[in-house]
Amino acid sequence: MNSSPRLNVLCLASFFKGNRFFQRLHEEGCHVTLITSDRFKDEDWARQYIHEFHSVASFEDRTALLHGVAWLFRNRRIDRIIALDDFDVEVGASLREHFRLPGMGDSAARFFRDKLAMRVKARELGINVPRFTPVFHHPDVAKFLSEVPAPWLIKPRSEASAVGIKKLHSADEAWAAIHELGDRQSFHVLEQMIPGDLYHVDSLTQDGKIAFVEVGRYGRPLLEVAHEGGIYVTRTQPRDSKEARELIKLNAAVLEGFGLRRGASHTEFIIGRDDGKPYFIETSARVGGANISDMVEAATGVNLWSEWAKLEIEGEGYAYKAPRAREEFGGVVISLARDEFPDTSSFTDSEIVDRLRKKNHIGFVVRSPKQARVEELLKTYLERIARDFHASLPAPVKSTS
């Protein structure tokens, strides 16, 4: 790289992710600085694309992190600060505010991290959400429990995936869970549990408009997989289906209403089993985890990490068009495995485009021009993995996806 990089980009990643993001930044002539947590500093980072590598004990000490970034700024001007994980969105926003850099600030970030803020805003926009109540005023909570039929979910307002969520079946159980939280009650939201199918919408936004979008459908809600054990599955939803068309419109309404100007997003909806209506569950200003980006790339040729990097480099006003290569179908299946490094050599189908390389896990990304073939493979792999490889552990305390 020459002595005058196109941009100096500081990336925040409290978990191990983003190698394709760093690669694109490097290829576009940027100087890449990464700050990660000590816990993940020895992971397989693509260091050939990272010019400065730093780790910190914890991202929760925001004052120390701010001081560290200020120290870096003294010798190299920072042009962009990018948060690569859900847990980094608020930190990144706070740093941008402090250093007056472009991108999402504190107020906008709340809509992409705070589950209560999301629900209130979505309801204001006229988008269906499960009935909910903040855990502030106990008479309001009592009214909710008396009017809304069980089961309910109590969720941390600023966690990711299914972390910290509890399913509640009675008022007594709900009150016990609330009292157990003590002074942390106000950091939670209580909502009606809607039975149905869970979908994810993964998109790229430029200048406040959707530039690329794909819809996927999970095999089981992530809450069930995390808390009851099981095997994670998702696949491309047929693009001409009623569900895909409806969710694409709702996703655009959510992101425009929430104020996302640029970047990647991962939004989840449930289509109710009883009424057939779509309900907004949550959104995030980042690439979806659990190999969803690999599935999207397999089906379309578009790598969400790489394209997000391009959007951040170009900034406002750039006439972006996603380099879509195909419209096929992808699928992902992932499970905890009994063996430290399971032997997957018996899985020989030509549709396999990637194999998960993670300790005590087994997983595959598949691709086919035919949706039926993807479904057939996922069904077969579910049965084989459950029989020969699957292991289960208690629900996670912290998300790494």
CATH label of the domain that carries residue 254: 3.30.470.20
Distance CA 392, CA 387 (A): 13
| Number of structural domains in the chain | 3
Instruction: Check whether residue 53 and residue 180 sit in a common domain.
Output: no
User: 168 and 218 share a domain?
Assistant: no
Judge whether residue 1 has pLDDT over 60: no
| 147 and 24 in a common domain | no
Q: Which residue has the tokens 């009623």?
A: 242
Q: Of 192, 222, 245, which residue constitutes the final position of a domain? A: 192
Asked whether residue 394 is assigned to any structural domain, the reply reads: no
Residues 188, 219, single domain; the answer is no
15 with 88, same domain?
yes
Averaged pLDDT, 242-248: 98
Sheet with 196-206, edge to edge strand ranges: 278-284, 262-272, 196-206, 209-218, 232-236, 329-336, 361-368, 352-355
Q: Which domain holds residue 175?
A: 131-192
Asked if residue 123 belongs to a domain, the reply is no
Q: What residues form DSSP beta bridges with 34?
A: 11, 53
Q: What 8-state DSSP symbol labels residue 353?
A: E
What CATH number does residue 18 fall under?
3.40.50.20
Task: Tell me the C-alpha distance between 331 and 113, whole Å.
Answer: 27
Whether residues 164 and 207 share a domain: the answer is no
Give the C-alpha separation, 1 to 104, whole Å: 29
Q: How far is CA 389 from the centre of its chain?
A: 26
Report the CATH number that the domain containing residue 185 is assigned in CATH: 3.30.1490
Q: Is residue 111 part of a domain?
A: no
Whether 352 is covered by a domain: the verdict is yes
DSSP at 390:
B
The DSSP symbol for 366 reads: E
Tell me, yes or no, whether 310 lies in a domain: yes
Residue 83 shares a structural domain with residue 231: no
Cβ–Cβ < 8 Å for 313, 304:
no
pLDDT bracket for residue 218 (50, 70, 90) = very high
In a domain, 50, yes or no: yes
Percent helix, strand and coil across the chain, each rounded to 5?
35, 25, 35
Extract the tokens encoding 2.
């020459």
Residues 183 and 285 in one domain: no
What pTM does this model have? 0.92
**Tokens, residue 40:** 């993940």
Residues 320 and 260 in one domain: yes
**Residue 274 within any structural domain of the chain:** yes
Q: Does position 393 have pLDDT exceeding 90, yes or no?
A: no
Tell me whether residue 110 is in a domain.
Answer: no
* pLDDT 10s digits, 301-340: 999 999 999 999 999 999 999 998 899 999 999 999 999 9
Check residue 399 and give its pLDDT. 41
Tens of pLDDT along 184-214? 999 999 999 999 999 999 999 999 999 999 9
Q: What percent of the chain has pLDDT over 70?
A: 94
Q: Say if residue 146 is in the same domain as residue 204.
A: no
220 and 363 belong to one structural domain: yes
**Is residue 22 within 8 Å of 53, Cβ to Cβ?**
no
Contact 305, 293 (CB under 8 A): yes
Among 45, 70, 105, identify where a domain stops: 105
| 246 and 359 fall within a common domain | yes
Q: Are 111 and 90 in contact (CB under 8 A)?
A: no
